[in-house]
A = this chain, B = another copy of it.
């Protein structure tokens, strides 16, 4: 039983949402999406965030918009208003060269973290399996 029950995934599935306030890795996901799409804007990205998210927790639009402005403030993306497509004006972002490098840094970091997590899972499950073996021998 998770520490907190998640409304999206229910109480039987131990999801990220139920483990407390974890980092959602919004920045790297946004960088990758912009790389793949060439250019895009917040509302459009928000529709694809879930498919690319690193956790099964939802990435809020509020976090997305703030991340985009933060990336721009740090020179990883640039934006311009697009007003000729109908509907409300869109702030269209694209990666800068520095943003591409920053994405590569994220890939290096997440590659390492991914392997550490896989090792963690093996160890956590192997200690459980040892106990199961003892239980089987005792039973």
Chain B CB within 8 A of A105 CB: yes
Partner of A14, one of B1, B56, B98, B109: B109
Given contacts A35-B124, A36-B123, A127-B36, whether A105 and B19 have CB atoms under 8 Å apart is yes
Copies held by the complex: 2
> What residues of chain B lie closer than 8 Å to A106, measured between beta carbons?
14, 19, 124
Chain A 83-103, CB-CB to B under 8 Å as 1, else 0, gives 000000000000000101111
A114 touches B114 (CB 8 A): yes
B114 touches A117 (CB 8 A): yes
Given contacts A32-B124, A123-B36, whether A110 and B117 have CB atoms under 8 Å apart is yes
Q: Which of A18-68 contact B (CB under 8 A)?
A: 18-20, 22-23, 27-29, 32, 35-36, 52-56
> What residues of chain B lie closer than 8 Å to A19, measured between beta carbons?
27, 105-106, 109
